[in-house]
Structure 1
Amino acid sequence: MTDLETTVRRIVREEVARALHPAPLPGGPTFADAGDAWLADLERLRRPANTLRRYEEQLRLHLYPDLADQPIAAIDRRRLQEILRRYVTADRHARARGIRSVMISVCEFALQQEWVDHNVARTTTSIRVPRHPVSVPSAADVAALRRAAGARHDDPRATMPLGLMIDVIIGAGGLRLGEMRGLRWADVDLAGAVPSVVVAGTVVQVRRGDRAWERGLHLQPTPKTSTSRRQIAIPAWLAEELRPLEQPGVLVFHTRGGGPYSPANVHSRWRQAAAAAGVPELGPHDLRKYVGTLIADALGVDVASRVLGHASGQVTERHYIARATAVPDVTTLLDQLRG
């Protein structure tokens, strides 16, 4: 194809695009207008506070700096693609994927309001997150962390029962940190034939502001997702640890004032214990991977996914399960191939 033919084809494509999507009139709602209205609509629909916080941060930190004052009807694919490319080039694929999702949602809302005639964000390239090997702590590392956390709990100056927190995360099937902090005694059944806990909520912390979901640290009455609400049987050793501490009607883990612990305080104490244990990189999420891999190896990925509260086994397998390097012994079959 000659340069002239290439140029002609490009001009024809541009003319067709202009005919299908004519240039917008000056003015009109900006991208920030659409984003704020979309967020307010989600708030009216009573979306979880943590979800609203995540969307608000995507808009404020990653989209508004480039698009806030731009009329949404004037924003083209190239402009959106440039924003996504910055994050993909920086190897922040998961971030780019989240930003694209918000882009699509805001533009879809604008389409419903008839502020635009098509959802330009849907024409951007979908983001594939590269799969990296899952790093899972060893049983020895987890044991060392538990010992260090328990030893610090014996310190009369330490009021946060970090050792018991870690035991609950592990013994309740790999709870999320927010789920552990939001666990209430009303959600704990220690009298049944099989002791169990119900994951019914989580603790979230969002930036302070005028809207209800922006008022800092609070207990959210629903877990992270619909599949995150689950009942988990706990082992006898954890039930024995919890029985002497039961106080109906309050949080299992609470400050002297009765409120939930902030994530900053928990992470600070956690880092101290991990450093003392010689495993400074071992964080709360690593315990979920440890428990998830343990369950998957014994009972399969689907069971691990349900216990961890994931929407699908694909999430569990991609992010939480260490791939086994060993395979079943098939030497008997392979021996038949000998000439």
Structure 2
Amino acid sequence: MARPPLPVGTWGTIRTEKLGPGRYCARARFRDYDGKTRDVEATGTTGPAAVRALKEKLRDRVAPNDDEITRETHLSTLADLWIDEIIAEERVTRQTIDRYESVVRTAVVPAVGRLRIREASVGRLDRFLREVAKDYPAAAKVAKVVLGQMFALAVRRGALTTNPVRDTGRLRTPRRKVRALTIEQLESVRTAIRTWQQPTPGKSGPRPTGDLADIVDLMLATGARIGEILALRWADVDLAADHPTVTIRGTIVFVKGKGFFRQEWTKSDAGFRTIVLPRFAVAMLMDRTLTAADNPHDAIFASRRGTWFSPHNVRRQWRQARADTDLEWVTPHTFRKTVATLINKEAGLLHR
């Protein structure tokens, strides 16, 4: 009767042999993770030393292959190989890849990049993620996604049998409470913006345009994100309809090496929507049709050079406009919260 094969990942009897003065060899048959049984050996100055060296070698052994990823691969190398893979697969957007690369460069590699795959235990990875989360909870969550996908690649290539990131602890992000503006505060916001846009003698820097007030008004009229508002083209609005509308169908994104450009889809599938405009937004857009300069993108809001307006510039201008007010807590997301709150109140009144 044939002897049953060794279970995968185990070895048989260890044999030792003296090769010469102070030199011993330990050998064993090992059934690799590809199912084949092979001879493995290690040497030492004594018989027990050779056995210990062999057991360590067997513990860290992976199936021989021509792959560039093994248990000895450094995490910095694994990160590079993973980035190359997701770029080649084209499954995620370029801006998402840029965000992953940034976290790899600034967080993952400096902290754990010199570890070998076999050294990246659940405990080590968990401590790293918790340290990042102390000061940067959002970055820690992205780092966990990055590490999870990196080690998934190592598993697929045979360097590991399980993904250690799966057993790290859950990262909790403190919920940021977003307040909605009252009607009085809403008027204060609009007044602050228009005051800031007025030319001031002796004020340094480029003179503010009227764009910020109009952008904020359209955000309040639609509840759309900054990037969605800045991506609007005149072709997306219908001011001649009985009930004028705007259709949100894209957003402004930034890609390293390419700059800001209009992405032909919104952040989520639910982002594509047509909205009936209130009268104040219709009046603002009608005024802009009379004064807006032509630009190659048909953009409602374009820079002085005719390019897409940067969301970063809008946020910067808003910080400047609110600097001398008591509205430091108001962010662009506050406008979305305000619109949602007003709609909810209106719906509640209708159902009473």
Question: What TM-score results when the alignment is normalised by the length of structure 1?
Answer: 0.70
Q: Summarize the Cα distance change of 1:163–1:27 in structure 2 as closer, same or farther, 3 Å threshold.
A: same
Deviation at 1:276, TM superposition (A): 4.2
Q: State the match for 1:216 in structure 2.
A: 259
In 1, the alpha carbon distance for the partners of 2:269 and 2:78 equals: 27
Cα distance, 1:38 vs structure 2: 2.8
Aligned to 2:249: 200
Answering whether residue 178 of structure 2 is matched by residue 178 of structure 1, we say no
CA-to-partner distance for each residue in 1:22-45, whole Å, 9 max, x for gaps? 435676443233323333333342
RMSD between aligned alpha carbons?
A: 3.0
- In the alignment, structure 1 residue 233 sits paired with structure 2 residue 276: yes
Aligned to 1:23: 60
Structure with higher Rg: it is 2
Partner residue of 1:41?
85
Q: Please say if residues 168 and 180 of structure 1, whose CA atoms lie closer than 8 Å, have aligned partners that are also in contact.
A: yes
1:70-108 C-alpha deviation (Å, 9 max, x unpaired) = 3334311111111122134x2644433332222212222
Q: Is the 8 A contact 2:229 2:251 kept in 1?
A: yes
1:202 Cα deviation from its structure 2 partner = 1.7
Q: More strand per residue: 1 or 2?
A: 2
Q: Which residue of 2 aligns with 1:117?
A: 161
In the alignment, the residues of structure 2 paired with residue 225 and residue 47 of structure 1 have an alpha-carbon distance, to the nearest angstrom, of 14
Gap change, CA 1:216 and 1:28, over 3 Å in 2: farther
Structure 1 residue 122: Cα displacement: 0.6
Q: 2:336 aligns with which of 285, 288, 292?
A: 288
1:171 CA drift (Å)? 0.5
**Offset of residue 254 of structure 1:** 0.7
User: Take 1:72 and 1:185, find their aligned partners in 2: how far apart are those partners?
Assistant: 53
What is aligned with 1:270? 318
CA contact (8 A) 1:87 1:95 kept: yes
CA contact (8 A) 2:217 2:281 kept: yes
Q: Give the counterpart letter for 2:132 in structure 1.
A: Y
- Report the CA distance shift for 1:29/1:126 in structure 2 as closer, same or farther (over 3 A): same
What are the ranges of 5 or more consecutive residues in structure 2 without an aligned counterpart? Answer: 1-54, 63-69, 201-206
Contact 2:71–2:160 (8 Å) recurs in 1: no
Give identity over the alignment, percent.
29
Aligned amino acid, residue 256 of structure 1:
R
Match of 2:301 among 253, 271, 282: 253
Q: 2:121 aligns with which of 66, 70, 76?
A: 76
Distance 1:29 1:250, change over 3 A: farther
Distance change (3 Å), C-alpha of 1:106 and 1:190: farther
Structure 1, 161-170 or 39-48: larger mean CA deviation: 39-48
Q: Is the 8 A contact 1:274 1:281 kept in 2?
A: no
Partner of 2:21: none
Task: Determine the C-alpha separation between the residues in 2 that align with 1:36 and 1:192.
Answer: 53
Contact 1:145 1:277 in 2 (8 A): no
Q: Per-residue CA shift, 1:228-279, capped at 9, x if unaligned?
A: 3333332232122112424695111111211122334322321222124442
Cα distance change on mapping 1:259 and 1:299 into 2, 3 Å: same
| C-alpha contact (below 8 Å) 2:220/2:336 kept by paired residues | yes
Tell me how far apart the structure 2 counterparts of residues 159 and 132 of structure 1 sit (CA, whole Å): 32
Q: In the alignment, is residue 96 of structure 1 matched against residue 140 of structure 2?
A: yes
Shift of residue 154, structure 1, vs aligned partner: 4.7
Answer 1 or 2: higher relative contact order, Cα 8 Å, separation at least 6.
Answer: 1
Cross-structure match for 2:218: 168
Aligned to 2:275, the other structure's residue is in SS state: strand
Task: State which drifts further: 120-129 or 130-139.
Answer: 130-139
d(CA) in 1 for partners of 2:61, 2:270: 42
1:128 maps to 172
CA contact (8 A) 1:24 1:73 kept: no
SS at match of 1:114: coil
Identify which of 131, 153, 158 aligns with 2:208: 158
Offset at residue 203 of structure 1 (A):
1.7
> How far apart in 2 are the matches of 1:261 and 1:255?
5
Q: Report the Cα distance in structure 1 between the residues aligned to 2:124 and 2:184, rounded to whole angstroms.
A: 50
Give me the whole-angstrom Cα distance separating, in 2, the residues matched to 1:263 and 1:24. 51
In structure 1, the gaps of 5 or more residues are 1-17, 209-213, 301-339
The more displaced of 177-186 and 38-47 is 38-47
Give SS of 1:54's match: helix
